[in-house]
Structure 1
Amino acid sequence: MKGNCYTKMQKDTITYSETGYFSKLICHYLDQDERVTPFYHRFPSLENFEAQIIEKQAWFSSASRNALVTSLEKQYEQFSVSDATQLHIEKLSAATTFTITTGHQLNLFTGPLYFLYKIIHTITLSRKLKQQHPNYDFVPVYWMATEDHDFDEINYFRFKGSKIQWNREDGGAVGELSTEGLDAVLELFSTALGSSKNAQYLASLFEEAYIKHSNLADATRYLANELFGEYGLVIVDGNDVGLKTLFAPYVERELFEEVAHQTVNSQTEKLTALGYPEQVHPREINLFYIIKGIRERIIRDGNDFVVNNTEIRFTETEIRSELQAYPERFSPNALLRPLFQEIILPNLTYIGGGGELAYWFQLKSCFEAMEVPFPMVLLRNSALIRTEKQKKKTEALSITDSQLFLKQNELVNQKIRAISNIDIDLSKQRQFLQEQFKEMHTLAAETDASFIGAVKAQEVKQLKGLDHLEQRLLRAQKRKLKDQVQRVVDIQNAVFPLQSLQERNTNFAEFYLEFGTDLVPALLECLDPLGGEFTLVTL
């Protein structure tokens, strides 16, 4: 499919299954395959939002709304807030306002490109829903994963083929990490950027975010606010006393009833029985204890509760008192974070990647047990950005959009077969050989059954010989046509860095260097929030 979007941008789309990069579970979900329907509540189609609105509106209390707004106002106290974001925060007090949410780690300088796609998706879907339901308001939300502790997953980004990395000791929740030492990263990044106007802006943006803010949570809030504040994005830090207070009753149930362990295991068994993988394995208690420099699992030890890798221990009475006095010290793990999010937000839809959706599918029965509405889950927009010159090169090499996504060896082999002046495909010879051996099998069975094994072994040997010959022919043609092969390899490497999806590796700064302030508005127009296909954007 082709179409035009912002200014000189053009978009093409292919199905997610055509890319070969998305799991069977996700492809079945997008097709609304009946095997997957027991694992979600409503599919995120435009017509299903009204029922989701009614359900969430009836469940979400005005007290929860007021607590949410109070917490957000405190979180934004030290930040310059756009009029659009301020209006959205105020509107969250009203029973007619709902959120469209995505979440992401605190990756250095946004990390991979899909950080942008996730947030853009919340904005475009909020706009679309406002058109469809003018009597309601819809707020795009970015949930910062400030309580994560996987520092090695977030301490770098890739820029022009290089890995720009922040080296320091980790420990505790990443949101509380000091930004000390990032001045050295800025120096390295500035050198790589060059001196253009857009390069100067990017260097300044990094400096303002990471050098002028003392911790990673504040730095990330500043960065996301600078990029998306004008669109009314609301940024939520769940590591908040007021929000944790709302979550405390569910924490208590998890501590004493181990709800997630029982319900998620049951749901997971049903998923795996259908051949789908387990994404997240539940623990008996899916909570961490979090204080400065420490984020460790809470483990049941007889009648007591211990904090892993520490000397901290609570009796049942003591842990109830600790939860009541310090709810902020109890942190959900990846499995319970979705529940926390849905308890404190008037949320309709969660937008996430394939891996995220896979663990949401394990959670429906847990939500039911906790009596919390299960949101619609939507696969985030995926895109590949290419220049007009790259697209023309691809067309000149007669590479289709779906071929572009093939593994490199398969793509090269297909192109060699297509442009070679000899027939490298020995399928006809294989078929002929197999027909001949059918007769041999019949003959062996009629004369002496002991020969059947020998005939089969000879058939396998000769078929392997044909495979070997075909591979030798391909290698010979690759050498003969090496210039054409190199052009195919070069164009794929240009748009698939590290031979993987561009969005999982490349940082937005590479494209901002060239397109500047046009980049985000262009993507907002090109990416369809409910299109359900992979988008190729040509600049």
Structure 2
Amino acid sequence: MSVQTIPYSETGYFSNLICDYLAEKKELQPFYHRFPKLDNFMEQLQEKQKSFPQEQRNVLVERLKFQNREIEISEATQKNIAALSSSNTFTITTGHQLNLFTGPLYFLYKIISVINLSETLNKKHPKQHFVPIYWMATEDHDFDEINYFNLFGKKIKWNRKSSGAVGELSTEGLAEVAEVFKNTLGNSSNAKKLISLFTEAYVKHHNLADATRYLANVLFSEFGLVIIDGNDTTLKKVFIPFAEKELTENLSFKNVTQTTKELTQLGYNEQVHPREINLFYLKEGLRERIIEQGGRYYVNETDSSFSKEEIIAELNTHPERFSPNALLRPLYQEVNLPNLCYVGGGGELAYWFQLKDYFKSVAIPFPILLLRNSVLLLPENLSEKLKKLDVNIEALFLEQHELESAHTKKISEIKIDFSTELDFLEAHFRNLKLIALQTDKSFEGAVNAQEKKQINGLKNLEKRLLKAQKRKLSDQLNRLTAIQDELFPKQSLQERSLNFSEFYEPYGENLIKTLKENLNPLSNGFTVVRI
């Protein structure tokens, strides 16, 4: 077992925005509050402590106890929930969609990041207490993003019609998916554990939110993880003043539009486009945008509409019917949690950067933003193959054609580098150009044309030599690209495609323990774990 970190900027898989953030570029500093360094958490804590009243703590604890009443939570999780009633307890939060059977591997990395950071802070500040939180995105409605997971190259998919919030979807049809999963896995003892876990989660629970809560609890509750469902009437009551401002003042639209403009002027892409109203109207089987036109509020794709007075009355009577979109959900989360830090992927942090001024306008502390751990799991057999090929793991982050070219040049007995010859040519033509200066323009033009022709010809010969050597060395190159294909499915990061069960099947319960022991959420580098 060994661990290696690679700077994110050297992997080629992270945006300029994220790389510049990690490098603490001066231009980006106006778009975040405090950088995720251990020494910055006490200031963040003191600021949050002033803005999070005891009444909200009591509401939070009551709702967490209610939401987790039907599952068996660990003693560590029970203690963490109870501790949230204390003014010296704070949260470290991540959020994620309700992907079928956790979806891609990075679901694990997000949660391990918040668990490990909470533990680090508890050691650093023993007079305070820090609780890891998984905020379930139960109100999302994009079913096609979550209804499958990949296993051994096969897409295991839940086929059904869907509308409304995905957390409320019944688990009907997942018994059939369990059978497909069972037939794909095999009969090892770890495979049987996985099949049992899938069945317990998805066949024995009535909706997707309950199934996901059960699954995450089984995987992580021994580490004190607290799971929260934002689709909760009582939590939404707390959010009413902010939702009302959203409906009547378009506050997020104004602030986020200006911040986004400033980010794009710096050359960064807009991650999420703000709307005039960033709320959905939510009922059973329905989650549609609220649109204001001519003083009336319309629910998109329906016949429902409200006057200003009517929609404010609806908000106060039925807050559960108002659902924040991706831009407003961060505020909803921060209003309801004594949170210090949000842990997310690059795409998530990109839209948080659009929000700082909006948070300031509503007087809610902007959390520390931490990029979750990104990981490549490198099985021992593939590590040994790379060693035999004399290839380091960093090379596999190259695009495949670049990897093939670099490795061909490395192992070729013939030197595939005409730079010496190019230098000679350029020196030769510099002398000819001195002669050309002593005669007319037509000769100078002929020299320039000949220089361009010969340099291009030499470069073309180098390319043809490289191509010829690739054919000659194809056996070694094919072995190398086969390893890359296995570790980077479809030329993408492993964590964005493979499901954890692909590694749980050979490694069992040691998988999560190994990850937890070897991931440092503050390492600021891409982690390669040889297992």
Question: TM-score band (shorter)?
Answer: over 0.9
Select which of 489, 514, 524 maps to 2:481: 489
> Cα offset for 1:184?
1.5
Change in 2 beyond 3 A, CA 1:449/1:93: farther
> Cα offset for 1:448?
5.1
After superposition, the C-alpha distances for 1:329-364 in whole angstroms (9 at most, x for unaligned) are 111111111111100000000000011111111110
Select which of 158, 172, 179 maps to 2:171: 179
1:290 counterpart residue number: 282
Change in 2 beyond 3 A, CA 1:78/1:418: same
2: distance between equivalents of 1:195 and 1:501? Answer: 29
> Cα offset for 1:435?
4.2
2:235 counterpart residue number: 243
Coordinate RMSD, CA, aligned: 1.7
Counterpart amino acid of 1:42? R
1: distance between equivalents of 2:276 and 2:443? Answer: 58
Change in 2 beyond 3 A, CA 1:460/1:190: farther
1: distance between equivalents of 2:389 and 2:453? Answer: 37
After superposition, the C-alpha distances for 1:193-236 in whole angstroms (9 at most, x for unaligned) are 10111000100100011111111111100100110011111111
Change in 2 beyond 3 A, CA 1:309/1:449: farther
Change in 2 beyond 3 A, CA 1:434/1:261: farther
2: distance between equivalents of 1:530 and 1:405? Answer: 22
The yes-or-no answer on 1:14 pairing with 2:6 is yes
1:354 counterpart residue number: 346
1:500 counterpart residue number: 492
1: distance between equivalents of 2:16 and 2:256? Answer: 20
Counterpart amino acid of 1:61? P
1:313 counterpart residue number: 305
> Cα offset for 1:418?
0.7
After superposition, the C-alpha distances for 1:279-337 in whole angstroms (9 at most, x for unaligned) are 11111111111111111111111111111111110000000000000111111111111
SS class of match (1:228): helix
After superposition, the C-alpha distances for 1:241-264 in whole angstroms (9 at most, x for unaligned) are 011111111011011111111111
2:144 counterpart residue number: 152
> Cα offset for 1:441?
6.0
1:214 counterpart residue number: 206
> Cα offset for 1:475?
1.7
1:340 counterpart residue number: 332
> Cα offset for 1:466?
3.2
2:417 counterpart residue number: 425
SS class of match (1:36): helix
Change in 2 beyond 3 A, CA 1:473/1:243: same
2: distance between equivalents of 1:394 and 1:69? Answer: 51
SS class of match (1:179): coil
Counterpart amino acid of 1:65? R
1: distance between equivalents of 2:241 and 2:21? Answer: 33
1:3 counterpart residue number: none
After superposition, the C-alpha distances for 1:344-390 in whole angstroms (9 at most, x for unaligned) are 00000000001111111111001001110000000000111112222
Counterpart amino acid of 1:332? P
The yes-or-no answer on 1:416 pairing with 2:408 is yes
Counterpart amino acid of 1:116? L
Change in 2 beyond 3 A, CA 1:448/1:288: farther
The yes-or-no answer on 1:404 pairing with 2:396 is yes
The yes-or-no answer on 1:58 pairing with 2:27 is no
Change in 2 beyond 3 A, CA 1:471/1:302: same
1: distance between equivalents of 2:65 and 2:476? Answer: 59
Answer yes or no: is the 8 Å Cα contact 1:382–1:534 preserved in 2.
yes
Residue range with higher mean Cα deviation, 485-494 or 461-470: 461-470
Residue range with higher mean Cα deviation, 214-223 or 266-275: 266-275
Select which of 99, 102, 110 maps to 1:110: 102
2: distance between equivalents of 1:337 and 1:103? Answer: 10
Select which of 233, 250, 260 maps to 1:258: 250
2: distance between equivalents of 1:318 and 1:158? Answer: 46
Select which of 369, 384, 391 maps to 1:377: 369
Change in 2 beyond 3 A, CA 1:266/1:439: farther
Residue range with higher mean Cα deviation, 370-379 or 385-394: 385-394
> Cα offset for 1:32?
1.2
The yes-or-no answer on 1:137 pairing with 2:129 is yes
SS class of match (1:35): helix
Return 5+ residue gaps in structure 2 as ranges. Answer: none
The yes-or-no answer on 1:81 pairing with 2:73 is yes
Answer yes or no: is the 8 Å Cα contact 1:14–1:401 preserved in 2.
no
2: distance between equivalents of 1:457 and 1:156? Answer: 58
Select which of 236, 246, 261 maps to 1:269: 261
1:519 counterpart residue number: 511
The yes-or-no answer on 1:387 pairing with 2:379 is yes
1: distance between equivalents of 2:529 and 2:95? Answer: 24
2: distance between equivalents of 1:280 and 1:252? Answer: 22
> Cα offset for 1:177?
1.2
Q: TM-score under structure 2 normalisation?
A: 0.97
1: distance between equivalents of 2:417 and 2:255? Answer: 52
Counterpart amino acid of 1:167? N
1:170 counterpart residue number: 162
2: distance between equivalents of 1:274 and 1:248? Answer: 35
Change in 2 beyond 3 A, CA 1:436/1:339: farther
Change in 2 beyond 3 A, CA 1:314/1:458: farther
> Cα offset for 1:463?
3.9
SS class of match (1:276): coil
SS class of match (2:27): coil
2: distance between equivalents of 1:78 and 1:12? Answer: 41
> Cα offset for 1:531?
1.1
Q: TM-score under structure 1 normalisation?
A: 0.95
Counterpart amino acid of 1:205? L
> Cα offset for 1:500?
1.3
SS class of match (2:202): helix
2: distance between equivalents of 1:450 and 1:329? Answer: 79
Change in 2 beyond 3 A, CA 1:334/1:433: farther
> Cα offset for 1:430?
3.3
1:41 counterpart residue number: 33
Counterpart amino acid of 2:331? L
Change in 2 beyond 3 A, CA 1:76/1:421: same
Change in 2 beyond 3 A, CA 1:287/1:388: same
Report the identity percentage: 58
Return 5+ residue gaps in structure 1 as ranges. Answer: 1-8
Change in 2 beyond 3 A, CA 1:126/1:469: same
Residue range with higher mean Cα deviation, 433-442 or 12-21: 433-442
> Cα offset for 1:469?
2.2
Select which of 271, 278, 297 maps to 1:279: 271
The yes-or-no answer on 1:29 pairing with 2:21 is yes
2: distance between equivalents of 1:471 and 1:148? Answer: 50
SS class of match (2:276): coil
SS class of match (1:282): coil
